[in-house]
């Protein structure tokens, strides 16, 4: 038996090693996501100027580990009582160089039995960041341009 692998004496050591590995990967994922975060911040400022404060993108907490080499963070535009938009970004890969963008627009915000809305998923490589930015711009502006979600 390898010391620390299956005995009780090594468990805390293995746990600390795993926690360090997760922190390290989380730092890498956060650093790789930084250009997207900066773009979303600038986009939020632009939305606020053109559509009003209720259209600002809101980050829903920090980036969180969800699986091995997989981390996620969610943003939303809750402005519309009719159909809020949620964007979840999943940063994954050994080098945290792939981003899965999930966009969901619920059909109605206030109803408990509301349809969950259609989920739109796309995968982007960090070396093609401009494609992700263009897709984000189109998704957000498209959401705000829809009559049922247009801010008043």
pLDDT by residue (tens digit) across 9-59? 557 778 888 888 889 999 999 999 999 999 999 999 998 998 888 888 999
- Asked whether residue 92 is domain-assigned, the answer is yes
- Asked whether residue 88 is domain-assigned, the answer is yes
- Asked whether residue 71 is domain-assigned, the answer is yes
Cα dihedral value 64, 87, 59, 69, nearest 10: 20
Encoded tokens for 105: 């627009």
- Asked whether residue 106 is domain-assigned, the answer is yes
- Asked whether residue 151 is domain-assigned, the answer is no
Range of the domain at 97: 11-145
Residue 114 has pLDDT above 70, yes or no: no
Separation of CA 90 from chain center: 6
- Asked whether residue 113 is domain-assigned, the answer is yes
Residue 127 has pLDDT above 70, yes or no: yes
The Cα 140–Cα 122 span in angstroms is 14
Number of domains the chain is built from: 1
Q: How confident is the model at residue 149 (pLDDT cuts 50, 70, 90)?
A: very low
Q: Are 28 and 96 in contact (CB under 8 A)?
A: yes
Tens of pLDDT along 50-106?
888 888 899 999 999 998 899 999 999 876 555 678 899 999 999 999 999 998 875
The Cα 89–Cα 11 span in angstroms is 33
- Asked whether residue 138 is domain-assigned, the answer is yes
- Asked whether residue 2 is domain-assigned, the answer is no
């Amino acid at each position: 038996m390898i010391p620390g692998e299956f005995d009780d004496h090594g468990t805390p050591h293995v746990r600390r090693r795993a926690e360090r590995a997760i922190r390290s990967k989380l730092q890498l994922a956060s650093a790789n996501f930084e250009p997207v975060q900066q773009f979303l911040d600038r986009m939020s400022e632009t939305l606020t100027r053109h559509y009003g404060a209720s259209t600002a993108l809101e980050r829903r907490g920090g980036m969180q580990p969800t699986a091995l080499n997989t981390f996620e963070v969610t943003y939303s535009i809750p402005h519309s009582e009719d159909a809020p938009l949620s964007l979840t970004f999943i940063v994954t890969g050994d080098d945290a160089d792939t981003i899965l963008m999930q966009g969901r627009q619920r059909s109605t915000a206030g109803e408990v039995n509301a349809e969950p809305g259609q989920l739109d998923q796309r995968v982007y490589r960090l070396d093609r960041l401009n494609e992700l930015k263009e897709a984000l711009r189109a998704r957000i502006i498209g959401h705000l341009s829809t009559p049922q979600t247009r801010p008043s």
